[in-house]
Amino acid sequence: MTYRSKRPRRTAAAFALGSLAVIVTAAGTVADAGSAAAAAARTASASVRQAASTDTAVVSGLNARQLAGQRVIYSYSGLTPPASLLSLIRAGDAAGVIFFGDNISSHAQIAAVIRTLETADASPGNPVRAPLLLMTDQEGGQVRRLSGAPVLSEKQIGQSAHPANAVKAAGSGAAANLRGVGMDVNLAPVLDVYRQAGDFIDQFGRSYSNHAHTVSWLGEDFIKAQQHAGVAATAKHFPGLGAATRSQDTDAAPVTLNLSAATIRGTDEAPYRAAIAAGVKLVMVSWAVYPALDRKNPAGLSPAIVGGELRTRLGFKGVTITDALEAGALRAFGTFGHRAVLAAGAGMDLVLCSEGSVGEGESAIDGLEHGYLDGALNKAAFTAAVTRILALRAGLPG
């Protein structure tokens, strides 16, 4: 966002091993390792293949409604999740839930809510046997939904005497805080490279630096520390909101960033190369328009940006997630259902419905289901997106 059970659970070590196993398999050799390491790598590789096979089998057993639901992140208002949300989760029509400040009165209260959601997720009527994606914006500084770590903002980390130590502490602290209440995804770190003091990103201290290199290595270290501790990281807001002026807020209105392709790729996208190399699990795509890359579509509705820049040019293989579907930047793009279809058609995996109403998510799932059934959305691409999401969920240490 721009601002604003009885099921078997995996350990944090297993979560970290999942990324390592893919790297080892891709490298194609463990010949120089000791026999114990080689055996561990073979076991990990087999586990990855088995998990992929399991995900494919689960996807093939989902009906159109459930396939659509696996792409939707819901929200609600107040301290108690409504019965309608629990019903959707029990039916296998939800990927996860995002939490905001008005959903949280204390750590104990939100932990109890999450136990309720996990119980619904474990329902016999739900064919997906994996942890929900339970997320929030725990960036640090002013942007925290839970009290506690990370206390420092990204800007404070970048300006600290020992930023390497501070950012690792922030990453591991965020993970411990979220894991302590049962959350497993953090919509952080922000990888925007701010341009001017007091601009849109800098005014809340949400950027590590106005130098791409500094943002890159600090973001990489935050991602590694957080994911090592068992919470999936989300790099945002691709391809970058660092050039947005103080008043350019996509939550409120359309934003156009007139940057050259060379500047976008050399400055704004640079931290994402580091994040992808670090194994970041999710990338959030912004709603700004970047005419040098796509003259009319916001990034999250642009196949040229999602498929071309992020997937093909930078090689990201993980899960993409939209910014808020209700954002003012999308007023010209119709209903929530239509916006969800456009986002999915552009290559976005998860649709973030964060206005605090379960009805928004239901509108999105309606649009996605109809798009899948009537051919507006490519079925192979649709199931590939769901497979990526299920792989992410299965790898989380709930």
CB burial of residue 139 (10 Å; 0-12, 13-18, 19+): buried
pLDDT value for 98: 98
pTM above 0.75, yes or no: yes
- Based on its alpha-carbon atoms, the radius of gyration of the chain, rounded to whole angstroms, reads 20
pLDDT tens-digit map of 62-93: 999 999 999 999 999 999 999 999 999 999 99
Phi/psi for 66 (5° steps) reads -70, -40
Place 57 in a pLDDT band, splitting at 50, 70 and 90.
confident
Tokens in use for 242? 């660092």
pLDDT value for 1: 56
Q: Where are the domains of the chain?
A: 64-394
pLDDT value for 58: 87
Architecture of the 64-394 domain: Alpha-Beta Barrel (3.20)
pLDDT tens-digit map of 165-212: 999 999 999 999 999 999 999 999 999 999 999 999 999 999 999 999
Torsion of CA 341, 223, 310, 364, to 10 degrees: 0
Average pLDDT value for the chain? 89
pLDDT tens-digit map of 251-275: 999 999 999 999 999 999 999 999 9
Average pLDDT estimate for 288-305 = 98
Angle at 318 between CA 316 and CA 321, to 5 degrees: 100
Name residue, tokens 């002026």: 245
Residues 6+ apart with CB under 8 A from 317: 311, 388
Torsion of CA 84, 90, 94, 100, to 10 degrees: 60
Average pLDDT estimate for 329-353 = 98
Phi/psi for 315 (5° steps) reads 75, 25
pLDDT value for 55: 66
Tell me the CA distances in angstroms from 24 to 30, 62, 148, 319, one per residue in order. 7, 31, 36, 20
Give the residue among 56, 86, 72, 126 at the shortest CA–CA distance from 369. 72
